[in-house]
Amino acid sequence: MKVLAPATIANFGPGFDVFGLCLDEPRDVIKIRESNEIEVKVEGFNVPEDPEKNVASISALALLKMLKAEMGFKMKVKKGIRPKSGLGSSGASALGGALAMATLLEVKNKELIIKAALEGEKAASGSAHGDNIVPSLFGGFTILKSLSPLEVFKLDVNFELVIVLPEVEVSTKRAREVLPKYVPLSDAVRNLALASALISALKEGDIEKVGKLLDDYLAIPYRKPLISWFDNVRRAALESGAYGVSLSGSGPAMFALGEDLRSIGEAMVEAFGNEGIRAEYFITKVGGGAKCLDV
């Protein structure tokens, strides 16, 4: 059994902990088969091989516990999404592990699969936020109304975007610790307005309008001490013609929408360089969600 679990952009501007966009690449690949022992092997980016520490096996074990099932398994995690990148690395592995185990057991209940995957996400980031796991499973652009009961609104959208990945790390756990418990009512209203308008623009397919709505008052302002380069890179993107630009998840990756995505990516990489940070960019498109292959 093999699962392809795609990277995601959580928050997507004003949709903190609610909006999520599935990407076509990169992805984690999780292979699993029944065994009389529990073993995890990792290829690609370095993550733990301890089954109690790798979020893919944590999610698989969580599903077994929820089903009151006892089973050994051998898992291979081909880690294609860099950890602490802001591209939903832990979310993809958590979803992939839960979905691989569910498929092995012929469990189709998506709410249960997501519940198990949240255990892996919680182990990695200290909180059971679903805005990476949900778009990685469903694909497209997802609005997470609630996790329990599971209520997801999916928009089938199709556009290209540029992702810029700097050679720095931002731990999601740390990026959540710096958030305030309360925000000013005026900021909540501003985000409500941006988020509502962004959904309307997405449904119209007006990507330029979507870009202009990629602002956030709930999380990014409080995370600035962790992403001191953000404003300069954002300015470079806009000056190079981007419709809009924001942080991917809790960062450090950033994404931009626009016409000439190569020039925008190059300008953002140069802006990171001016901050003494090496970075790379790639252009991708909206992904279709996780895939299960019976191999």
Ligand X SMILES: N[C@@H](CCOP(=O)(O)O)C(=O)O
Catalytic residue numbers?
121, 172
Beta bridge partners of 144: 152
Q: Which of 10, 82, 86 is nearest to 47 (CA)?
A: 82
Would you list the DSSP string of 162-180?
EEEEES----HHHHHHTS-
Question: What is the Cα–Cα distance from 60 to 73, expressed in whole angstroms?
Answer: 9
Alpha carbon distance 180, 294 (integer Å): 45
Per CB under 6 A, contacts with ligand ADP among 249-268 are 249
Query: Which of the choices ligand ADP, ligand X, none does residue 165 contact, using the CB cut-off of 5 to 8 A by kind?
Result: none
Question: In this structure, what token pair is assigned to residue 61?
Answer: 């074990």
In angstroms, the CA 223 to CA 213 distance is 19
CB of 53 to ligand ADP, least distance (A): 6
| Contact residue for ligand ADP among 11, 59, 85, 136 (CB under 6 A) | 85
- On whether 149 is known to bind a ligand per the annotation, the reply is no
Q: Residues 1, 5, 6, 89: which binds ligand ADP (CB under 6 A)? A: 89
104 binds ligand ADP (CB under 6 A): no
Asked if 91 interacts with ligand ADP (CB under 6 A), we say: yes
**Nearest distance in Å: CB 20, ligand X:** 8
Residue 139 makes contact with ligand X by CB under 6 A: no
Is residue 173 within the footprint of ligand X (CB under 6 A)? no
Q: Between residue 5 and residue 44, which ones bind ligand X under the rule CB under 6 A?
A: 10-11, 16-17
What crossing angle do the helices spanning 55-66 and 110-125 adopt, rounded to 10°? 140
Choose the one of ligand ADP, ligand X, none that binds residue 17, judging by a C-beta under 5 to 8 angstroms depending on kind. Answer: ligand X
# residues near ligand ADP by CB under 6 A: 22
Residues 6+ apart with CB under 8 A from 52: 58, 61
Annotated binding residues for ATP, written as ranges, equal: 82-92
